[in-house]
Amino acid sequence: MQDTLKTTPLHDVHVALGAKMMPFGGYDMPVQYTSILDEHRAVREAAGLFDVSHMGEVWVRGPEALAFVQRLVTNDASKLFPPGGGPDGAPHGRVMYTVMCREDGTAVDDLLVYRMADDAFFLVINAANIAKDLAHIRALHAATGLDCAVEDVSEEMALLALQGPRAFDVMAEVTDLPVADLPYYHFLRPEPGAFLGCERAILSHTGYTGERGLEIYCEAEKAVAVWDALTTAGAPYGLRPAGLGARDTLRLEAGFCLYGHELDDETNPIEAGLGWVVKLDGRTFTGSEALRRVKEAGPARKLVGFVMEERGIPREGYALVDEEGRPLGEVTSGSQSPVLGKGIGLGYVPNDPAYATPGATVYVDVRGRRMKATVTKPPFHKAV
């Protein structure tokens, strides 16, 4: 018997707007309000507002919090700084994208890490992986014995994503906080009550769409007020509510990995093109020795992007083959690009220049028909 789906604090808002709802990551989530195409275009041309409160949030606090996070993730958390702690004394802090791995180098999850204080970090993890991630984090915490505490606050927090070229214009209508000055992958932590009455807000210049924008964390009970303020302020700028359907086509055009597709329990971050978040020099973390061997030898396969040269939409699980039909790998994500008007996809092929270099030709087996595609480095939507 299937467990009852969880709901986000904005569930009633989505239903009132007539959103098409579906299960995702254990939650009842909006897929679309009008159409995926309309919502996708709104984000590319104006602004879109997403409810992504299904994501998980975890605090790591204590004297040895940095040492623990350094053991947990592939990227170097020592480069992060809390709000006001940067080299220029600016009020923003720094956030990073990273992966946490098992000892064999395979990915447990990809995540964001915020440094909130010298001894406090805020981790943002994928909704479908919350239980698995927490088990992994707590097991490592127990094994290391480092002096810090791990606290899951996923049920207490809401997360909205305001994305698109007019996102910062919309935000300027609801706050005079210096969000326009935020560099990419930096964040503000307003004083309690300073942002729309929220006591625990985080305003982050991050996103998953390939556009400029903000991710806004707040306590769950303030989510509706924040949503209403942003949708009202955003209406003159063309802002639209956007669902997970557009979120997926947007992230695919940008070439971003999605856990369960490009990353999974059998994938390491180097073959997934995430070697740039694997910092091995002078560091030991869970999976570092295995990843060092992969880096030295080179991965056996490589994640590539591709654009269809014939009419057809590549779908997850379709085979990637060579000209003779010999198997190379398979599509991990695919769709029609609203910007290009062509099929686009991501998938794994052998780490061979004949298949893994931009400009190379591969073929997608679409229901028994081999259809030509050109390997193309994302982001796809910047190619026009």
Q: Output the pLDDT for position 383.
A: 62
Q: Output the pLDDT for position 64.
A: 98
Structural domain contains residue 218: no
Structural domain contains residue 100: no
Structural domain contains residue 337: yes
Q: Output the pLDDT for position 210.
A: 96
pLDDT along the chain (384 residues), means of 10: 81 98 96 98 98 98 98 98 92 97 98 98 97 98 98 98 98 97 97 97 98 98 98 98 98 97 97 98 97 97 97 95 96 96 97 97 94 97 71
Q: Which residues pair with 162 in a beta bridge?
A: 49, 214
Structural domain contains residue 364: yes
DSSP run (H or E) holding 217: strand 213-219
Structural domain contains residue 335: yes
Structural domain contains residue 289: no
The C-alpha atoms of residue 255 and residue 378 are separated, in whole angstroms, by 5
Segments forming the whole domain that contains residue 325? 300-383
Structural domain contains residue 373: yes
Per-position b or e across 45-75, b if 16+ CB within 10 A of its CB: ebbbbbbbbbbbbbbbbbebbbbbbbbbbbb
The C-alpha atoms of residue 84 and residue 158 are separated, in whole angstroms, by 24
Place of tokens 């030898």: 297
Structural domain contains residue 278: no
- The number of domains in the chain is 1
Q: Output the pLDDT for position 1.
A: 32
Q: Output the pLDDT for position 287.
A: 98
CATH of residue 364's domain is 2.40.30.110
Q: Output the pLDDT for position 88.
A: 87
